[in-house]
Chain A
Amino acid sequence: MHMGKATLQIDLGHASLAGLRPANEDYCAGVTPDGDALENKGVLVAIADGVGGHAHGREASEYCVRSVLSDYYSTPDTLSIAQSLEKVIVAVNRWLYSHSRKARETAGMATTHSAVVFRGRRYTIAHVGDTRVYRLRNEKLTLLTDDHVWAHPEFSNVLSRAVGLDANVSIDFIEGELEVGDVFLLASDGVWNALDSKTLVKLLGSSDGLEDVAARITLLATQAGSSDNCTALLVRILGLPPDSLRDNVASVAELPLPPRLRPGQNMDGLKVEEVIHDSRITILYLVRDPATDQRCVLKTLHPNADASDIAAIAREEWLARRVINAHFPQVLNWPQRTCLYYLMTWHEGATLARHLELGRRYTSIEAADFAVRMLKALKVLHRMGIVHRDIKPDNLHLGADGHLRLLDLGIAASRGLDEEVSSETGNPGTPSFMAPELFKGVAASESSDLYAAGVTLYYLLTRKYPYGEIEPFQNPRFGDPVPPARYRPDIPEWLESVMLKAVSREPSERFETAEEFLLALERGAQRPLFVARRTPIFKRDSEMGLKLLAMASLFANILLLLLYLAKK
């Protein structure tokens, strides 16, 4: 699949010397995967310089690098590089911190840590402590990281931040574009303290093998009088992939579009039973695999779809494959595939929107129960770094088995897939369920998903929208949401408060996470929230308040004038 395609190519070299110290507390390592892992995760190199008495410095640094290296490749592909690195480094920090507090001899066990991920045409650095990352580009040496040491000269070698030093660790993330010929140097303080930048430029600029260069750097550093351990890790960029859609997405997009299928027709050995859904762009067929008699859903595009639609469905499949959870329909593999489509599990039942159309009226308890299940699904997505962007009753499927499933990742966004994408002209979505900030061009986030979840709950109960129906291409104004109890007096006050908080105009006033929303629903009446039903006008629009005041005063004056004239 990847043969013949240009991928990221690098050269790697490293060296580590204990120097004058009795033990080497530095540790460095790298992972150079290929295939899918290279494309989705990239190359990871890391360096760490441990502190702590006895052998504990080395233990900390080695543990840190080894854990980051192995755990990074187990994080979901849908997370961005920075999110993945943060997750694993925070976990290492937690372990080291608790370990260092266990006994007197392990106290103070901590490590600096700098890791660089090279993926596609970009690099991402995660950095804590005083190991450094340099980049040599066109004979110019750039220091990419800051040293986390105290500013006071006497403490210039005391770490202000390190992994394992504190219960919480703040990580610096630095990102940038790669160029062919770039050389990255990850160096411990033993190296960078001893060698000036002129020497480094000369060493890094040589065309020798990187192993030799690394050995020379550490040797020179010890000879220059470095009293610390000296470790250098070098990466040279030899080749970059073309700047396009990721290969595993692009290879799907290259498949031809299927023709319009009729019930009874066959497609790659699947028998079409009926058209489930036919929208402007996508078509969903119910198909049956004659061999196993299993029914599944085939999602594809209209035959006249354009390149952007094709890219969109390829992305959708990429994402849907990664969401392995009972709250979502699962993608099925079909090796005989010859056209652009993908298969999902089929579940008997209907969407909540369909149930509403059929005249179903939900009680507060039922609706809150749906909301709880919807939020559990949403929680799964958000933990994977995916924003659904289209939560609504049409996309909530109530199966005959009683399961609620969240459908349609058609416009979902994932930081793991989209972090290179700069900007869009507008936010996709269903206008009535889109959060106010989305109309101003702010990118969709977990917060806007939770807003949509709130509107969904509101709609399930009242069949109305909190701010009225919003049409496509409208540029709406948002006032105060209408309290849902106005349409349904049987809604309990606590549920109304939860809904109003969820659909708050300001993202900062909404629930921060799906878990918080979930907790509010589960606590219910026991610990109700307090949400103001009306925002005072001065808070909503401070200028408006002044304008009204001025207007009132003007009217009062005119009135007085008229009275005066009338009396005269």
Chain B
Amino acid sequence: MSMRAPITGISRFWLEKAHRFVASMWLDAPNCMHPNSASRHKAAEKNIHWHRNCFAWVTKTPGRDNMYKNFWKAGHAPTLLASFLYFDLAFMVWVLLGPLGVQIAASLHLTPIQKGMMVATPILSGALLRVAMGLLVDQIKPKLAGAIGQVIIIATLFIAWRAGIHSYEEALILGAFLGVAGASFAAALPLASRWYPPEHQGTAMGIAGAGNSGTALAALVAPSLAMAYGWTNVFGLALIPLIAVFIFYMKMAKDAPDCPPPKSLREFILVLKDRDAWWFMFFYSVTFGGFVGLASSLTIYFNTQYGLDAKTAGFFTAACVFAGSMVRPMGGNIADRIGGVKSLTAMYCIAGISLASVSFAPSSAWAALAMFVVAMLSLGMGNGAVFQLVPQRFRKEIGVMTGLVGMAGGIGGFYLASSLGYSRQLTGSYQAGFMIFAALAVFALMGLTGVKTRWRTTWGASHLTAAKI
């Protein structure tokens, strides 16, 4: 049956010829069709590589095109929408006292310091409550935590609307409670992002985070409504969308099936040992602090500095805030393309220069507006750039880091808003307040230089394993 003929010289010669022919057919490499021996040699070598590689191929992470195609299938779109709406309205309410500041100050006869403190209080309490909200989310899941936050806000606004605000102290108490809205970060972002696999989390958080635009909404609508119906009634009017979104949220939002383990105090302490953590908290306190501080203070600024009425000042503020919140994703993209440190350097430079020049109080309100828009653009992009870096630099500690960085941002906002009031009352102009903030931007630049040098090093694979928020 099976007889293998010993291959003699002649048959061997024939065999070699045939071998050559078949080899070239089965290799499907174009150059092995040439019958000369050099190229055959190459082809044979290629073939070995092919055999070696065909089992060595490793599963690759999906490419970019694939990613976007699958995004809407990957997570839970209703939850994403609900958390976006919740976030948007919460932000609107959070900075509500800013656009209303002119009218409230007029009827309560507030000094510049008191005005500054009134708009700064929600920012500070929001920053601190954010951490508390983060801990609550760990204990009782994001949906319930978010619902509790919304109920508190609705109740606060209802009381403020029915009972009215009669003194500076009452305004501060209201501000402190509005801080709960500022804490919505800690509930809305995990609610949405936990539904998504790591490669989609950035997109999910970007969409939910677009709720930043709520600040512009407040500045645009609140002063006009206050002029038409009285500022106390604005609280009542705000209840309409809040309750609508609350109902939608309760119906549509769902907690993701799996969630990361609760954060321990030890994790906070460990991450704070890292120098980069402190710097990123500072970077964000300048970019986000500048953004939210200006969003709250600009209505009052345009009113006192240029004598614009509350409505026009609101429009001016809205323009700035809108610019700042819209470019946030763009800032993230630029950082991704040209590098976070490089883009932050440019953004701090521009923000510093424009804030310093606006401190000289240009004669026309339009010139001031232009400078503020430029400042807000760079600060908004800076926000995006910081949050392009933070999740990657602190992959393992991302849960605690977003809380800490967010808190630092709020504290920066509190500082800017209150310092502007102090500056106005103590020196008679806003210049000192803006100048000090511009100096902070310069200090951030120096910090960036340090980070840049420290980062010129080897990044191991262990830095690259992702964690969930």
Contact = CB atoms under 8 A, between A and B. Distances in A.
Interface of A: 51-53, 57, 80, 82-83, 86, 104, 107-108, 110, 150, 157-161, 165-168, 170-175, 189-190, 193-194, 225-228, 279-281, 304, 306, 308-309, 312, 390, 408, 410-411, 415, 419, 422-432, 440-443, 469-477
A473 B389 contact: yes
Given A158-B15, A193-B2, A473-B388, A53 B457 contact: no
Contacts of B169: none
Interface stretch (B55-63, B87-95, B218-226, B311-319): B55-63
B55 A175 contact: yes
B460 interface: yes
A430 B6 contact: no
Nearest to A353: B456
Contact of A430 (B44, B60, B457): B457
B340 A279 contact: no
Contacts of B52: 82-83, 86, 173
Interface string B384-423: 0000110011001000000000000000000000000000
17 contacts: A53-B8, A86-B52, A104-B9, A108-B11, A110-B7, A160-B22, A161-B19, A170-B23, A308-B465, A312-B461, A422-B59, A423-B59, A423-B60, A424-B461, A442-B60, A471-B339, A477-B337
Given A166-B16, A168-B44, A472-B455, A157 B462 contact: no
A227 B47 contact: no
B348 to A, nearest CB: 16
Nearest to B466: A425
Interface string B1-24: 111111111011001101100110
B69 interface: no
Given A308-B462, A430-B457, 19 more contacts: A86-B48, A107-B7, A107-B8, A108-B9, A108-B12, A193-B2, A194-B1, A423-B58, A424-B464, A428-B461, A429-B459, A430-B458, A441-B60, A442-B60, A472-B393, A473-B388, A473-B392, A474-B336, A476-B339
Contacts of A168: 41, 44-45
Shortest 9 CB-CB contacts between residues of A and residues of B: A471-B339, A108-B7, A426-B464, A308-B462, A168-B44, A474-B339, A473-B392, A428-B461, A193-B2
B206 to A, nearest CB: 15
Interface in B53-74: 54-56, 58-61, 63
B84 to A, nearest CB: 26
Nearest to A189: B2
A227 B3 contact: yes
Given A168-B41, A170-B48, A470-B339, A410 B460 contact: yes
A189 B460 contact: no
A377 B337 CA distance: 34
Interface residues of B, number: 60
B457 A51 contact: no
Contact of A227 (B2, B6, B336, B393): B2
B262 to A, nearest CB: 19
Nearest to B199: A425
B462 A390 contact: no
Contacts of A107: 7-9, 12
Contacts of A280: 457
A304 B11 CA distance: 70
Nearest to B391: A473
Given A51-B6, A51-B7, A474-B336, A430 B1 contact: no
B34 interface: no
Given A166-B19, A194-B1, A226-B1, A411 B9 contact: no
Given A53-B8, A170-B47, A443-B58, A157 B2 contact: yes
Nearest to B462: A308
B342 interface: yes
Contacts of A470: 339
Contacts of B464: 424-428
Contacts of A431: 459
B270 interface: yes
B338 interface: yes
B44 to A, nearest CB: 4
A25 B59 CA distance: 43
Given A173-B52, A419-B56, A108 B1 contact: no
